[in-house]
Amino acid sequence: MLQAGTKAPDFTLVDQTGAEVGLSAYAGKKIVIYFYSKDNTSGCTRQAQAFAGEYGRLRELGAEVVGISKDSAESHARFAEKYGLPFTLLADPEHTALQAYDVWKEKVRYGKKVMSTVRATYVIDENGIIEKVWPSAKPDTNAAEVLEYLSAKERD
């Protein structure tokens, strides 16, 4: 897992509308990037809905939200439409960002070794430096934890 204080790896991926989006598009802005396994699965859906619910407050704190998984742009478009997700979802079928952010890991499922996405969240500051990492984000609490962290920083 990448550590706070390190430069965030750049990437360019396709969003749910088919547009190419790179980390550089967020230069000068705080960005919350959350990595998740798969559209329309129970935990990933709950996490996306939680970020959608806190989206307005996160934006008020100056943060953009981006979700990244290995799903296709088309899958992301259906997922975003179905749940009214107001933020960007990026498709990473080649695992470019997943590997760069060290969230593409070997896991054991049903006795077999498989490669899968670790649910993790990064807050990247306006200068492209990783500010905070949740290496094992929980779908039901992650958005609230990010909001709490950013709110506390705002008060400082």
Identified catalytic residue from 14, 33, 44, 52: 44
Q: How far apart are CA 47 and CA 35, in angstroms?
A: 10
* Whole-number pLDDT of residue 110: 87
Nearest Cα to Cα of residue 45 among 14, 1, 75, 23? 75
* Whole-number pLDDT of residue 98: 97
Half-sphere exposure (CA, 13 Å, Cβ side) for 103? 27
* Whole-number pLDDT of residue 139: 96
* Three-class SS of 76-106: HHHHHHHHCCCCEEEECCCCHHHHHCCCEEE
> Which residue ranges of the chain lie beneath pLDDT 50?
none
State yes or no: is 22 an active-site residue.
no
* Whole-number pLDDT of residue 151: 95
Q: Which domains does the chain have, with CATH numbers?
A: 12-155 (3.40.30.10)
pLDDT digits (tens, 9 = 90+) for 61-78: 999 999 999 999 999 999
